[in-house]
Structure 1
């Protein structure tokens, strides 16, 4: 893993430990990395499963919502819904 990836993951872990979801721009600023390098590295980290998109947020510097990221270990701890919801979806889709 390269130095840029390590710096971005470290920043994401620190901000996630503080209870925040982090955007690409926040990770780049916290890691003192350029935006272009951060964008390509975050894409690779997401593809590898080390970062996960956990939500979207409206920001004032962009017209479209931006993705919020969390390290995979933190994202796995925060379930999106209770487990019985997934079980209900499976059972409702079960062919009769």
Structure 2
């Protein structure tokens, strides 16, 4: 194990290093309720845009402590829900 691996969030998520576990759980619970997603349909990440992977409905990106939500649309493209709602 590398020394840097000790400072990562769940499942190697480097973007959530400063996020408390309780806050992370609240964010996941919000996504589950608001987007009607199961926990296994949610992907956590530290990059501004979701990776090109399939099988997920919601991508949560932590940007300086705040969460951005990306939602997979019917046409299989990701859309940044956080900016759609403003």
Greater RCO, 1 or 2 (C-alpha within 8 Å, sep 6+): 1
Structure 1 or 2: more helix by fraction: 1
Which has more radius of gyration?
A: 1
Structure 1 or 2: more strand by fraction: 2
TM (norm. structure 1) is: 0.29
